[in-house]
């Protein structure tokens, strides 16, 4: 499995989960959006970096085990 195929599959799963959450619990997603808009930019950036690092780790694990 190529890295591009794996990245596309991961992106597809992300869209699937996010779309399902919006369809199943729209008010919850709206509250999450409000929470994020009220969060300081520095905290949001740090959270984004942490999540990106976890994503890179998961992708590396998936590529090595594929």
Rounded to whole angstroms, how far apart are CA atoms 16 and 19? 5
Backbone Cα Rg of the chain = 15
pLDDT classification of 2: cutoffs 50, 70, 90: confident
* Nearest-10 crossing angle of helices 41-65, 3-24: 130
Residue 66, pLDDT above cutoff 90: no
State mean pLDDT over 44-59: 92
State mean pLDDT over 21-45: 95
Task: Report DSSP state, residue 19.
Answer: H
State mean pLDDT over 51-64: 87
The answer to which of 3-7, 30-34, 51-55 has the lowest mean pLDDT is 3-7
Q: What percent of the chain has pLDDT over 70?
A: 98
Beta-carbon contacts of 39 under 8 Å, excluding residues fewer than 6 positions away, are 47
């Amino acid at each position: 499995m190529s890295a591009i195929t794996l990245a596309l599959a991961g992106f597809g799963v992300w869209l699937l989960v996010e779309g399902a959450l919006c369809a199943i619990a729209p008010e919850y997603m709206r509250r999450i959006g409000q929470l994020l808009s009220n969060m300081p930019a520095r905290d949001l950036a740090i959270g984004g970096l942490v999540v990106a690092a976890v994503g890179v780790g998961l992708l590396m694990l998936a590529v090595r085990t594929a």
